[in-house]
């Protein structure tokens, strides 16, 4: 994916920059996901500090064409999206 970003920079937008990488479908109970994220961080990639869990609620949200926050505002994944928003807002200040 980073190669595609580099190509887009060269062909269309020199100022394009990767602000951070969002980890999604993250399952904290598996060592595989934890190890993968640690490896990405170890490579110096800009991993954002909020990881989005895998959830059936997201599929329901898509099927109903309803934003997750309106489908279930108290769901864990909804809170993670809100946390991610706060991280991104803080980065632009």
Class of domain 2-92: alpha beta
pLDDT, one tens digit per residue, over 2-57 is 899 999 999 999 999 898 999 999 998 989 999 999 999 999 999 999 999 999 99
Tell me the whole-structure pTM to 2 decimals: 0.84
Q: What confidence score (pLDDT) does residue 62 get?
A: 95
Q: In whole angstroms, what is the distance from residue 32 CA to residue 23 CA?
A: 13
Count of Cβ atoms closer than 10 Å to residue 19 Cβ: 10
Nearest to 27 by CA among 7, 44, 52, 9: 52
- Sketch the domain layout of the chain as residue ranges: 2-92
pLDDT reported for residue 1: 86
**C-alpha angle 50-70-28 in degrees, rounded to nearest 5:** 30
């Amino acid at each position: 994916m980073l190669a595609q970003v580099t190509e887009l920079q060269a062909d269309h937008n020199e100022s394009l920059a990767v602000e951070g990488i969002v980890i999604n479908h993250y399952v904290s109970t598996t060592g595989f996901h934890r190890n993968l994220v640690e490896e990405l961080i170890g490579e110096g990639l800009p991993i954002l500090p909020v990881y989005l869990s895998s959830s059936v609620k997201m599929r329901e949200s898509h099927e109903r064409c309803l934003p997750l926050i309106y489908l279930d505002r108290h769901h864990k994944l909804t809170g993670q999206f809100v946390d991610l928003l706060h991280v991104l807002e803080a980065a632009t200040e």
